[in-house]
Structure 1
């Protein structure tokens, strides 16, 4: 028993040995599924870097992809995050959030465009999903609207009654609950095979009613990162977000910043701000 992981450092332009991407992905996936040998990809180089190749290979190898653009990033991945980079504590991890229609009219997950799966696949344990390393944390941000919105999401929910009686009003088919949402999480142990059943645990959440002024530093910083992502992608949902607001939110949420990563993010936003101003 040990940590069985291959680390590949490359620009992703495979021109020796197996160069066909589909064959390479199949090889990596077979070794991960059958032999529990995982793969982590480190991207190096400029101009010819093939991010999409490396990300696909890492995803199918139950690993992660990192682009190493500096000595600092290399240290972060291979020193500061060594345990989470090399040691998998759970695989095929799936997270599903069930919003209470009495509290939430509609919702939108911000980001994770290449990580989403169909709702009905959540309990299909043969579907491949993500891996979590030791000490690894994940943040997901949802934009929600109050009940009564015209674009209310039509999905199955634990908050809906199971009988087929005709609803007397828009809430009569819902159970009476003060919960805002429930998080469902499914995962397999690192040594489990694809045929094995996943473990599941459930965490309900009730809204505390706290306003923005009482929000955590982590929440404020995460909001800045999400806003920056929407700004860079020219998202139709970005609203009035701009670099000044992002810098304000990030500065409010910088906290102790043990590894200096939040300060580095603020420097990145300042660089983007200067580029945007030069382009006007």
Structure 2
């Protein structure tokens, strides 16, 4: 396969050379021509069949492709030959649904926060195409956290997180209750953010040659560029069969120059993402702002299928760089190759967020209406721990966060990595609980367990704790709040919205706990919140639910 690709690469290069003109010294003047990289001690071009050689070279030098991948719009495009993608290679990890826990033996629940939203937007892509998303692609927390619940927010970055809770009847099981635990972060104004040092690492491999991939990625990053300020800096690197710099760090007031570099990109070649990540970190570190925001954005379809090194090495690099203050976020595009598991894993290790962009509307959400949240981290390594009172609660289950669970002792261990929260981000978790005085149980009671428990803490149902670090600190801070046994009220609008969204996600992943609760029931819960739907996201959710209904009726 490698020899075949090399042959086609030579043919394509010769065809391009025939279109160029030469000066008296033999230099090609047409920037559309792919030039042979010049190898020197300061070389910026590498191309090798060995992943180990690539990593060694990338770690020692800057890597650049001279005018590669950049074609002016007036130049005819000669497609690069690529292996056809005949099968769907999208990858979703299998994660078991969290089971019922008995408070008598397992009273503490601990998990890392998650503000990723890729699972929801990816499911939206399927449903808009008339297909049911794979059950393994559904992460309930990413559905819930896609939406804004107008939660009370802290007013200072010194304490950037605030806890809020609510308890109501469970709509799908009248014998249980739903407890909502939410964290809301401080809301910044983009205009007041520190200077930005951004690197766009853009996938221009052959698999990106699709309208929902490279063109959408270009328009999305154009939108981010339109928001930049003079004090901000942007560099752009690309990767395909090889990686290169197409724009050195450039001031945010040079928008035309930045957009030109983005818009002239063309797709072709293999996918050597690992070398591109090395190069992006080199750029970010060389222009590091001690008092600024230093972040890499990867734009890709997730297809790291040619020339990559081991995932362990890649994650180790990303972890070292996050400790040095350079964070990594991942933006996924397109269908067929999307590697959901890898995208989430890379962003987790990079103290960033994984997004999936299925439309320009989603780009507007990330790079316009929620830009401060996308760029600025206000709290890192955020963990939540809830201890249930065995005198009040018999059983519980955490809805979602199945791949974010932590050991009890991890909560106080500052060496354990956890999720980040950007400016204005919210994290919401729902627990379904069985009260001790209820006759209902998911599991039979233990025969030899002492059933005589007295309430020693004055009617508390549970105790919520959250740990977080400020972005430039190594030691965590603690917040806590009790959930008391007060009379339940009818669901607030934010509670009803969270229940409706969670129920929809549970239906999609085939949860065994919903009984006969239906999509119509979920829509009824979302209904009241439609009155405050500035951007139409909630109405769109109802449309997706109707789409699923139509598919089920057709079956």
TM-score (norm 1): 0.87
Deviation at 1:252, TM superposition (A): 2.8
Deviation at 1:205, TM superposition (A): 2.1
CA contact (8 A) 1:84 1:133 kept: yes
Which residue, 265, 269, 274 being the options, matches 2:545? 269
Deviation at 1:17, TM superposition (A): 6.3
Task: Say how many residue pairs are matched.
Answer: 260
Q: Indicate yes or no: 2:468 matched with 1:190.
A: no
Which residue, 124, 133, 138 being the options, matches 2:427? 138
Deviation at 1:75, TM superposition (A): 0.9
Distance 1:169 1:50, change over 3 A: closer
Which residue, 436, 453, 465 being the options, matches 1:171? 453
Distance 1:32 1:251, change over 3 A: same
Deviation at 1:276, TM superposition (A): 1.1
SS in structure 1 of the partner of residue 550 of structure 2:
helix
Partner residue of 1:46? 335
Partner residue of 2:95? none
SS in structure 2 of the partner of residue 254 of structure 1:
helix
Aligned mates of 1:101, 1:152 — CA distance in 2: 16
Structure showing greater Rg: 2
Which residue, 472, 478, 493 being the options, matches 1:200? 478
Q: Higher relative contact order at CA 8 Å, sep ≥6: structure 1 or structure 2? A: 2
Stretches of 4+ moved more than 3 A in 1?
A: 15-20, 148-154
Aligned mates of 1:13, 1:78 — CA distance in 2: 24
Aligned mates of 1:78, 1:278 — CA distance in 2: 38
Which residue, 410, 423, 428 being the options, matches 1:121? 410
Unaligned runs of 5+ in 2: 1-290
TM-score (norm 2): 0.45
Deviations for 1:173-231, whole angstroms, at most 9, x for unmatched residues?
x5142122211010111012xxx3211111112233133xx321110011011111111
SS in structure 1 of the partner of residue 514 of structure 2:
coil
Q: Give the 5 Å matches for 1:91-106.
A: 91-106=380-395
Partner residue of 1:87? 376
Q: Indicate yes or no: 2:317 matched with 1:27.
A: yes
SS in structure 2 of the partner of residue 39 of structure 1:
strand
Distance 1:47 1:124, change over 3 A: same
Aligned mates of 2:424, 2:451 — CA distance in 1: 46
Aligned mates of 1:25, 1:169 — CA distance in 2: 47
Aligned mates of 1:23, 1:16 — CA distance in 2: 16
Q: Higher mean Cα deviation, 89-98 or 232-241?
A: 232-241
Unaligned runs of 5+ in 1: 155-166
Distance 1:168 1:112, change over 3 A: closer
SS in structure 2 of the partner of residue 122 of structure 1:
helix
Q: Indicate yes or no: 2:301 matched with 1:11.
A: yes
Distance 1:152 1:64, change over 3 A: farther
Deviation at 1:150, TM superposition (A): 7.1
Distance 1:19 1:277, change over 3 A: farther
CA contact (8 A) 1:107 1:153 kept: no
SS in structure 2 of the partner of residue 139 of structure 1:
strand
Deviations for 1:217-263, whole angstroms, at most 9, x for unmatched residues?
11001101111111111111121121111111111333412222111
Deviations for 1:54-112, whole angstroms, at most 9, x for unmatched residues?
11000000001000001111111121111111100000000111122222111100011
Q: Give the 5 Å matches for 1:203-214.
A: 203-211=481-489, 214=490
Aligned mates of 1:134, 1:267 — CA distance in 2: 29
CA RMSD of aligned residues (A): 2.1
Deviations for 1:2-60, whole angstroms, at most 9, x for unmatched residues?
01110110011125664432222221111002x11101100011111111111100000
SS in structure 1 of the partner of residue 402 of structure 2:
coil
Q: Higher mean Cα deviation, 252-261 or 130-139?
A: 252-261
Partner residue of 2:517? 241
Aligned mates of 1:30, 1:210 — CA distance in 2: 47
Aligned mates of 2:359, 2:371 — CA distance in 1: 17
SS in structure 2 of the partner of residue 5 of structure 1:
strand
